[in-house]
A and B are shown apart, each in its own frame.
Chain A
């Protein structure tokens, strides 16, 4: 089977740094993706890690450790607009099926 675990909720203040962790169990692993979803909106792609290490895109960075089946999303210089749900998702081999975690709700306060 496949499973992904994320914290259900994280709170932080504007300007802070927050890390959202994701542990996964799966067979046939291609890579780990992160998506952001605002209330009432569609998920939007943030990052994809196929190899171990850190990928940086502006204020957001994503890390993967394949040996530990673990990854995280790091959000820096938090802004109010970053309040949203964040999903890690495993891309499986075979037909490249994307399996989502249950999501982490990030609340950024002034």
Chain B
């Protein structure tokens, strides 16, 4: 069973640029969530996709957008990057049933300069 994978592992971008992060969910999982984790903080919920539809969103501006594909893999897109977007971006997948265990990928470390 393959776990959650994310690419790239590290990324450096300039303020104002756009970035796309990718996530492959664990086999059998139909729900993918994205989180932003700043240093020393807990993961902050960005949004969640269930069967290719966004069905929940946290307090993030519209320049954070995403997609989920028929194979349940997912993308996170961030436009007009700001310095504060520098963080670890985590993808997590799960099924829609209890115990709602999230399986996290290793994350993408994004640095905005």
Instruction: Give chain A's interface residues, CB within 8 Å of chain B.
Output: 30-31, 33, 35, 41-45, 48, 50, 87, 89, 91, 94-103
Contacts of B107 in A (CB 8 A): 42
**Majority SS at the chain A contact face:** strand
Q: What are 11 A-B contacts with C-beta separation under 8 Å?
A: A42-B104, A42-B106, A43-B102, A91-B100, A95-B55, A97-B48, A97-B58, A98-B33, A100-B44, A102-B41, A103-B40
B20-55 contact mask (Cβ, 8 Å, vs A): 1 or 0: 000000000001010100001111110010100001
CA gap between A85 and B44 in the complex, in Å: 15
B residues engaging A (CB < 8 A)? 31, 33, 35, 40-45, 48, 50, 55-56, 58, 90, 92, 96, 98-107
Does A41 contact B106, Cβ atoms closer than 8 Å? yes
CB-CB under 8 A for A97 and B102, given A42-B90, A42-B107, A43-B90: no
Whether A48 pairs with B100 at a CB distance below 8 angstroms is yes
Nearest CB of chain B from residue A60's CB, rounded to whole Å: 14
- 20 further contact pairs, Cβ within 8 A, besides A98-B45, A100-B43: A31-B100, A35-B102, A41-B106, A42-B104, A42-B107, A43-B43, A43-B90, A43-B102, A45-B103, A48-B101, A87-B43, A95-B48, A95-B50, A95-B55, A96-B31, A98-B100, A101-B42, A102-B41, A102-B42, A103-B40
